[in-house]
Homo-oligomer: A and B are copies of this chain.
Amino acid sequence: MSISVFQDPLLSGLFGDPDVAAAFAAARTVERYNQVEIALTRGAEASGLVPKAAADAICAMLADFTPDMAALAAGTMKDGLPLPAYAAAIKAAAGDNARYVHLGSTSQDIMDTALALTLVEINNIFDARLVEIVARLQTLAKAHGRRVIMGRTRMQAALSITVADRIREWQLPLERQRDRLVRLRPRIEIVQFGGPVGTRRGWNGNGDAIATHMAGTLGLSDPGASWHTARDGLGVYAGWLAQISAALGKIGEDVALMAQQGIGEIRLAGGGGSSAMAHKKNPIDGELLVTLARFNAAQLGGFAQSLMHEQERSGASWALEWMILPQMCAACGASLLTATRLLSAIEQMGASEGTILDGAT
């Protein structure tokens, strides 16, 4: 056990998601700061606030700037966030052009935009995994869909259904969440730009123009105003992450119930071993999906507590986001990886092919 199951040498095979971990890695985050500062410099250049030569020099420097991470860590302790020390470092590295660096921006402009870039990467990964999982469900439905299983309601046998019926219940919410992601992405893959008090009023009236230019450079949208305190987009996204984990958690819970001796409606390859009982085959991936769903449900409640940001910028609520959102991405990523693994381990669902009677009365 370790503080974070996502970063533990032993447990991260189970709970971890290497792609999400890479996307949130500190070095990668700093690279994104560089990217955002480059976009800012080019935006300011386009508005005539930075001479081309200075912009070129700054961007060349930023293209492979690697800060002294220990100095950044020390600055983070002092300032409560890494950006002031980072901004000082790139200004120092810019030499005579220092006055054109990080022009008019505030820490949150850079860090939130960097987060948006991280989420672009995460969303690409998760979208592909969702496609893959839906495809696996379709394959399973094709292979076993006509077999009969007992439909169960309130934990009791009700009427017979087909395996295809149950798989459809697993699949539909995932498809809807995938549709939601498409609509959601433009709301969170956005540039943050506002300056010290979020008004976009600096930059000689060029705030909006620079924001739009930056968005173009970075492949993001410009929401038209800063969102230093308006975290609604991230709140919706956190909800989406929890919904994916829940939809996959339902699959896991159903599988664990189907795998019970005496029920026996599923046959899985592999399965976890026991240190005491060699005969056991634990449906560990099913359980893990339940765990991850409950974890992300709890984190969603925590994230919702961070939605109120007082005045023009909140330190306390913002830092609460940092503590929770990356974990929600990691847990969602783990849900997707685990579900893929679990579905590919299904060797049979249902007992026998049969006819479903025309049920209810």
Contact = CB atoms under 8 A, between A and B. Distances in A.
Interface residues of A, number: 159
A31 interface: no
A235 B311 CA distance: 29
Contacts of A306: 294
A124 interface: no
26 contacts: A2-B29, A10-B29, A13-B73, A14-B77, A78-B273, A80-B282, A83-B275, A84-B274, A84-B275, A158-B197, A159-B277, A165-B198, A176-B230, A195-B276, A196-B277, A250-B307, A250-B309, A257-B311, A288-B316, A291-B315, A295-B323, A297-B302, A300-B300, A300-B304, A302-B302, A323-B331
A155 B310 contact: yes
Given A151-B312, A156-B282, A288-B316, 18 more contacts: A3-B327, A3-B330, A4-B7, A5-B322, A8-B26, A14-B76, A15-B319, A80-B282, A151-B197, A153-B274, A155-B259, A155-B315, A158-B280, A166-B312, A201-B360, A202-B359, A204-B358, A243-B307
Nearest to A258: B311
A78 to B, nearest CB: 6
Q: How many copies does the complex hold?
A: 4
B20 A3 contact: yes
B4 A4 contact: yes
Contact of A202 (B9, B87, B358): B358
Contact of A287 (B118, B282, B299, B319): B319
